[in-house]
Copies of this chain bind each other. A is one copy, B any other.
Amino acid sequence: MLIGAQTWEFRSKPAIVGAATVVGPEEGGGPLGGTFDFVYDNLEIDEKTWEKAERKLLEHASALALVNAGIAREELSCFVGGDLMNQIISATFAARTIAAPYLGVFGACSTSMEGLALAALITDSGAGRYVMAGTASHNCTAEKQFRYPTEYGSQKPGTAQYTITGSGCAVVSSQGRGPRITHATIGRIQDLGVKDPFNMGAAMAPAAADTLVSHFRDTGRGPEDYDLIVTGDLASVGHAIVKDILAKDGVPMDKTEFNDCGLMIYDRGKQPFVMAGGSGCGCSAVVAYGSILQKLKNKELGRVLVVATGALLSPLSYQQGESIPCIAHAVALEKEESES
C-alpha cells in the first residue's frame, strides 16, 4: 500500500527466496569477487557478439536464481526484466528462454530496483506466486551503444564510469524464506541540466538524494534506521555530490554506512581503468543480490536500503543537445527474523 507520496509498503514482506549473480573477469577480480555465483574468465562470455554475451549473462543468472530458489521455471508467475540495450533486447531474448509471462521495464541503471519493486508488488498483491526480477549489463555493449566501440581506444575523462559486466536475478515470493522486501520508493525524474555523458554520477546524484529524502519522509525513518545504505552507481564523483546535497538538506549520512555499488565492485587502486567507478544495469544488481543478500542472510546486516540510480539518456537525446533526465528507485531489505 502507498504510504506518503511515493513509497510502497508491502504487507506480506515478500522474501527473496533465491538469487544469483554472474559476472565477467574484471568484476570477478574485484573486492567482491568471492560473492558472485559464477565468474566468467573471458569478456566475450564465450559468445560471438557482445550483445549475445550480455544476453547469456542474464540467461545464466536467471537459471541459477531458479535453482537457488528451488523452483522450476514453470512455477514463475512473471519475469520482470530490463537492460540498457536499445529495445531491451537482452531481457527480451532471456525472457524467451525463461518462457514465463514477461514485463519489460526500463530505468537504465535503476532497472534493478524498479524490477525488484514491481516483483515485490506483484507477489505482495497476490498477482504472482513466484516473480523474478533480473537485469544485466556488459561493458562492451554499453561502450559500443552509448559511447564508442572499445576497439577505437578512445580516451575518457576521469569522471567517466565503467559499465560492469554481469547479471543479477532475484526470485521473490510472499511465501517462503529469505531476506524480506519491506518498502519501495518510486523515484521522480530529476534533471538539473547536466549534459555530459562522461559525468553521469553528477547527473544522477540529485535523483538519489531526492529518492532518499522522499523515502525518509514517507516512512518516518532516518539514515540511522539502516545498517547500510547503498546508491546504485554514482561512483566517486556522484557519491561525493549526493553526500553534499543530503548534508545541505539536513540529512547527514554519517549515522550509517553509506556506500555506492559502483565504488564497492572494483578496487580503483588496482583497477584504474574503471576511472570514477562502476556503473550499468548489472552494477547494483550483482552487489545487492551478491554481497548484500549474503550479509542479510547471515545476519551481518539487519536492514539495508538499495537506491539504484539511472541516467535515462539516449545517444540521440544527447546529440540533440538535451540534458540527462535521471531517476532513482529505492528498495528496503531486512534480514529474515526482523521484529518490525
Contact = CB atoms under 8 A, between A and B. Distances in A.
Interface of A: 1-2, 5-6, 8, 49, 51-52, 77-78, 82, 84-89, 92-93, 95-96, 99-108, 114, 118, 121-122, 124-129, 186-189, 191, 312-317, 320, 322, 325, 327
Contact of A86 (B102, B103, B127, B314): B314
Contact of A2 (B51, B52, B77, B87): B77
Contacts of A317: 51, 87, 89, 93
A174 to B, nearest CB: 11
Looking at A187, A316, A322, which has the most chain B CB atoms within 10 Å of its CB? A316
A210 B118 CA distance: 24
B103 A325 contact: no
Given A102-B188, A325-B95, A89 B314 contact: yes
B92 A189 contact: yes
A128 B5 CA distance: 9
Contacts of A129: 2
A49 B320 CA distance: 9
A136 to B, nearest CB: 15
Contact of A186 (B1, B78, B186): B78
B187 A101 contact: yes
